[in-house]
Amino acid sequence: MNSLELAEALVKRSEVAEGDKKLVLLVMDGVGDIRHPSNDYRTPLEDADCPNLDDLAARSAVGRIIPVDYGITPGSGPAHLGLFGYDPRVVEIGRGVMEVVGIGMELEEGDVAARANFCTIQDDTVVDRRAGRPETRVSAEKVRLLQEKVGRIEDVEIIMQAGMGHRFGVIFRGPGLMGGVNDTDPHENGEPIHEARAEEQGQEKTARIINEFQRRALEVLEGGDPINGMVMRGFSGRPGIAALQERFGLRCGAIATYPMYRGLASLVGMGLVETGKAVEDEFQACLDHWDDYDYFFIHVKPTDEAGEDGDHGKKVEAIEATDEKLPMLLDAGPEVLAVTGDHSTPCSMKLHSWHPVPLLLHSPRCGADCAEGFTEAACNTGGLGIFRAMYLLPLMLANAGLLDKYGA
């Protein structure tokens, strides 16, 4: 029995079902940072004025989480899977699935999703895989055309939606489809479009539909400039994982403003709560649905955006804005509140990174590390230690008193 199976076996389902203990996971995306000469060796959490977080940290258990593994920089998919109690080294979300959930398309069981690019073709060769990086509105027009002309092949419905620039999402919906078929995207300019092949048993129909869609899409796009073709990659279905409700009995609700995080939450079976964009709106949405769920995932995006922009000051502000509204959540009296990030996005790197993320875990049973504040360095010395993100959910359940004793 691995660590997560152990927690699943020990969860007190009848007590969870009573629904009077609320677990809240507050994710400040990319909140972790590193001390660096460019920021005078101070992180945004160290520079932010956060009376509520600091006060809470002093009365909480603190530690740091490793999103996926030592040295591994996660995309948003694996990073959130870990926070939700899945081992992201085992559960993989295909590129196609990430693309379609990222633009807010609804993926059903049995669907196969792909990430598609508009491209430029000459003499049967892809000469520009991004068709000169068209504007989104130009691509959207081509997507509408494709949808109108090639919306169905055999008994398979084909659903498309524009993404950013040259990208769009494609969902194949119909009986007998399978992910894992090879890309038609050659991945390099100067190569011909690849044919989809059924390399595993059961993929024949999927490959046939893909090839036919690819052929007819090229007919529809023919003569365009610079967009006269499209290629697809990452054919994949929903990851075959049990929902959190099935595993732990928890009714889970997600409060997030960006389609990608809503999509990720839906992949693990969370309900999607409508919310406004500000932190205050998100917290209010949580309170408005307090009785509907046992576990709330609240996703705050601006910390990551500031990190990706390399904007230390903006990251400080994003943290302070979250801190200011924190009493809204505290006053509701969750049994367990975990505050952390899905990964670090150091301003000095302007990228996601592998660095462990500070974590604060508050409950009536959490103990207190009397941390001086909610910072990376203070969390280094906490009683939770430095551990993989996938162990956070068992810890939250334990802190809610919802895990039975193991053995006599």
Under the binding rule (CB under 8 A), the answer on residue 6 touching its own copies is yes
DSSP codes of every residue in 314-327: HHHHHHHHHHHHHH
For residues 146 and 117, what is the distance between their CA atoms, to the nearest angstrom? 13
The backbone torsions φ and ψ at residue 169, rounded to the nearest 5 degrees and listed phi first, read -100, 145
Q: What whole-number distance in Å separates Cα of residue 303 and Cα of residue 209?
A: 42
Closest CA to 399 of 338, 328, 342: 338
| Out of 45, 53, 93, 171, the residue judged to bind its own copies by CB under 8 A | 93
Interface with its own copies, residue 164, by CB under 8 A: no
- DSSP per-residue letters across 235-282: EE-------HHHHH---EEEE-SSHHHHHHHHHTTPEEPP--SSHHHH
Residue written as token pair 């559960």: 91
229 binds its own copies (CB under 8 A): no
Site for its own copies (CB under 8 A): how many residues? Answer: 68
Q: What is the phi-psi region of residue 208: left when phi exceeds 0, alpha when psi lies from -120 to 50, beta otherwise?
A: alpha
Least Å from the CB of residue 29 to its own copies? 15
User: For its own copies, which residue of 15, 19, 52, 75 counts as binding (CB under 8 A)?
Assistant: 75
- Note whether 176 binds its own copies by CB under 8 A: no
88 binds its own copies, rule: CB under 8 A: yes
Q: Which stretch binds its own copies (CB under 8 A): 15-23, 68-76, 124-132, 266-274?
A: 68-76
Phi, psi of 128 (to 5 degrees): -145, 105
**Residue 99 interacting with its own copies (CB under 8 A):** yes
Q: Which of 15, 55, 92, 317 binds its own copies (CB under 8 A)?
A: 92
User: Which pair of tokens denotes residue 132?
Assistant: 């000169």
If binding is defined by CB under 8 A, does position 272 make contact with its own copies?
A: no
Asked if residue 368 binds its own copies (CB under 8 A), the reply is: yes
* Measured distance CA(279)–CA(325) in Å, rounded: 7
Give the closest residue to 118 by CA, choosing from 48, 24, 185.
185
Strands 23-28 and 152-153: unpaired
* 403 lies in the site for its own copies, by CB under 8 A: yes
98 part of the interface to its own copies, by CB under 8 A: yes
Q: Is 30 in the site for its own copies (CB under 8 A)?
A: no
Q: Residue 64 interacts with its own copies (CB under 8 A)?
A: yes
User: Interface residues for its own copies in 325-364 (CB under 8 A)?
Assistant: 346, 348-349, 352-356
Candidate residues 19, 52, 73, 140; the one interacting with its own copies per rule CB under 8 A = 73
> Judged by CB under 8 A, does residue 41 bind its own copies?
yes
Write out the DSSP string of 119-175: EEEETTEEEETTTT---HHHHHHHHHHHHHHSSEETTEEEEEEE-STTEEEEEEEST
Nearer to its own copies, 250 or 285 (CB): 250
Residue 76 interacts with its own copies (CB under 8 A): yes or no: yes
Tell the smallest beta-carbon distance from residue 387 to its own copies (Å).
6
Closest to its own copies by CB, 83 or 150 = 83
Q: Where does this chain bind its own copies (CB under 8 A)?
A: 1-3, 6-7, 10, 34-36, 41, 64, 68-78, 88-90, 92-93, 95, 98-99, 102, 346, 348-349, 352-356, 365-370, 376-377, 380-387, 391, 394-399, 403-408
